[in-house]
Structure 1
Amino acid sequence: MTDQRANHIDEILVPTDGSKAAMRAATQAVELANEYGATVHAMYVMDMGDVDYVAVPSDIAETRERLTKKGRKFATQVEDLASEANVECVVVVESGIPEEKIIEYADEMDIDLIVMGKRGRSDPDKLLIGSTTKRVVGHTDVPVRVV
């Protein structure tokens, strides 16, 4: 990380799954964005898993639509936090493998910091860190604050 990047944060990515940990991370991200005058990117990644391979096309479309609505709801919760703090927020809903999409988006959008919960809905029993968070931390050059 260059000195310039370490001293200023313009773009903060907050992956969310609507969990309590994700919302705590979003709160910290919004506070940091407010302090630095940064933009928050609220991102939900639909993990369709094996649905594409075991369901008929109409079921896939229905499931994708349902997950998109759920994702927009979760990302909009982050957007609402940002709005209350007068922080600019971009809402992103993607489909794919969560850690891959998070890292790809961070690279494409020149994200300065990723702020994410230590575990999400799919990892409620993990004591230390969830699998998606662990994979993001281990595979990105972007600093990650784990909340």
Structure 2
Amino acid sequence: MIDTYKTYLAADRSLTLEEMEQLHGDIISEMGNDPDALELYQELAVTATRYIAFRSQWFLWSRAEKTDRDSSRTACHNSLIVKFNQLARYLRLQGHEAAWRETLGHEEEDPYNRKRIGDFGCYLAFVNSLCAR
């Protein structure tokens, strides 16, 4: 079976491209030209790019490769969540709402929010990849 965007949309807690675009726009708007926020965003983008490399290859790997790389993938996913949290915390300290972070959700509230956060990280890497042409 070949997956499509429609396959993704049918999954629990998925985000549409339009929703991800809105969240991304909210982040960019709140960061403005703040050098510390931009540095945190850069760290987030680096981590998202590392994470998408794991996720994009998941279906291509053998069971043995998945077993071998699963702990690294999980650690990278954890790091991605931390980077989102750091950026949101900083923006809140600067007086912004960072409502985008609540929209992504927290895994303590629903385990699927972990996947949702990963999805959005992949979106950031996707946008960066398209813009790097």
With a CA cutoff of 8 Å and minimum separation of 6, indicate the structure with the bigger relative contact order.
2
The alignment's TM-score, normalised by the length of structure 2, stands at 0.39
Choose between structure 1 and 2: higher strand proportion: 1
More helix per residue: 2
* Structure 1 length-normalised TM: 0.36
